Amino acid sequence: MPTFTSKSLLTVLAGAASVAAHGHVSNIVINGDLYQGYDSSFNYMANPPVVAAWKANNQDNGFVAPDAFSSPDIICHKDATNAKGHAVVKAGDKISIQWETWPESHHGPVIDYLANCGTAGCETVDKTALEFFKIDEVGLIDGSAAPGKWGSDQLIANNNSWLVEIPANIAPGFYVLRHEIIALHSAGQPNGAQNYPQCFNLQVTGSGTEKPAGVKGTALYTPNDKGISFNIYQPMTSYPIPGPALIKDAVSVAQAHSAVTATATALTGLAAAPAATGAPATTSAAAAPAVTTTKAAAVPTTTLVPSATKAVTTAAPQATKPAKGSCQKRRAARRAAALARRHARDVAFLD
């Protein structure tokens, strides 16, 4: 790992933090239907669109560090608030999660969880009460040559997208999908892992009966977990993916890229999903998710629509600016700035 002592160099790098190529999820695709993610431009709109994605204070595409694993920030990213809408998916169907970009240097596992929101739905649920169960995980794929080939590398190779299947036996209802990449490029240092959780509200349809037990978001990880404190700059034979064990019905799917055939609008409220087939409202009646239909069969070859929703972060992240007169806030800001500097350095030199 390079060490830098030049103050001016650090200053330059700190400035790079706002333009560094980190990521967030720009949309999800279910049976060809594209549901928009949360875009930071929504923060400046009087009437932002209702989306299935949770809002979070990660305009800098930053991360949650291990020292925040017991804070609510780890649940759905910093200061996250409930998505106002939800996407509809039939149990057994797949969701393609599209990141706008992901830096190659940020090697690590890709993990997906669900948490049931109960009868009140996910639009108002208290996030600290959610209990997440794991439905998908890909960690180290090949560790023969450091820093190894990881789930994150598979994601990049798959056009920065990740395919996850909602287990067919999951009971219908409202769920939060918590999708996460954990970047390990600095994880050999204390508090060095970087978690990038992203949340979406789902209405799962179908006739499943399973209601797996889960773990509160603030209890998913600890800073000392073997898969959190981990050095990737050495040959590796295995990697212990952190978090609870996969549920028994979890399905491992081959990564593929979903074609986009329509743009869907997030639904609101607690009404039953529109079509008995679980097909989203915007697709035609013929678009049953069965693979036998000719029209809607997912053909994982077409390139995704160009991301018109790509976030442009021009302003430097000001969230770290301390309020006047608060010692504690100033200390937190200093720490955040130090983290941002380290982050910028990581990207500049490891990318």
16 versus 50: smaller Cβ distance to Cu ion: 16
- Rule CB under 5 A: which of 9-28 touch Cu ion? 22
- Return the DSSP state at 279: -
Query: Which one, of 311, 333, 313, lies nearest residue 322 by Cα?
Result: 333
22 versus 178: smaller Cβ distance to Cu ion: 22
Question: Residue 196 Cβ, how far from Cu ion at the closest point, in Å?
Answer: 8
User: What is the token pair recorded at 118?
Assistant: 């109960």
108 versus 217: smaller Cβ distance to Cu ion: 108
Question: Residue 284 Cβ, how far from Cu ion at the closest point, in Å?
Answer: 41
- Return the DSSP state at 151: H
Work out the number of other CB atoms within 10 angstroms of the CB of residue 150. Answer: 27
Place of tokens 């990564």: 255
Place of tokens 């609870």: 244
| Residue 66-85 contact track with Cu ion, rule CB under 5 A, x = bound | --------------------
153 versus 165: smaller Cβ distance to Cu ion: 153
Question: Residue 289 Cβ, how far from Cu ion at the closest point, in Å?
Answer: 36
Question: Residue 22 Cβ, how far from Cu ion at the closest point, in Å?
Answer: 5
Work out the number of other CB atoms within 10 angstroms of the CB of residue 77. Answer: 24
Contact 82, 51 (CB under 8 A): no
108 versus 227: smaller Cβ distance to Cu ion: 108
| Residue 285-324 contact track with Cu ion, rule CB under 5 A, x = bound | ----------------------------------------
Question: Residue 162 Cβ, how far from Cu ion at the closest point, in Å?
Answer: 18
Question: Residue 97 Cβ, how far from Cu ion at the closest point, in Å?
Answer: 18
**Residue count (the chain):** 351
- Rule CB under 5 A: which of 317-346 touch Cu ion? 343
What's the CA gap between 34 and 51, in Å, rounded? 11
Q: Positive or negative CA dihedral for 195, 105, 225, 243?
A: positive
DSSP string covering 81-146: B--S-BEEEETT-EEEEEES---TT----EEEEEEE--TT-SSS--GGG-EEEEEEEE-EEE-SST
Q: What Rg do the C-alpha atoms of the chain give, in angstroms? A: 20
22 versus 179: smaller Cβ distance to Cu ion: 22
90 versus 343: smaller Cβ distance to Cu ion: 343
Residues binding Cu ion: number (CB under 5 A): 2
Phi/psi-derived region of residue 269, left when phi > 0, alpha when psi is between -120 and 50, beta in every other case: left
Question: Residue 16 Cβ, how far from Cu ion at the closest point, in Å?
Answer: 11
- Rule CB under 5 A: which of 119-158 touch Cu ion? none
- Which residues are near Cu ion by CB under 5 A? 22, 343
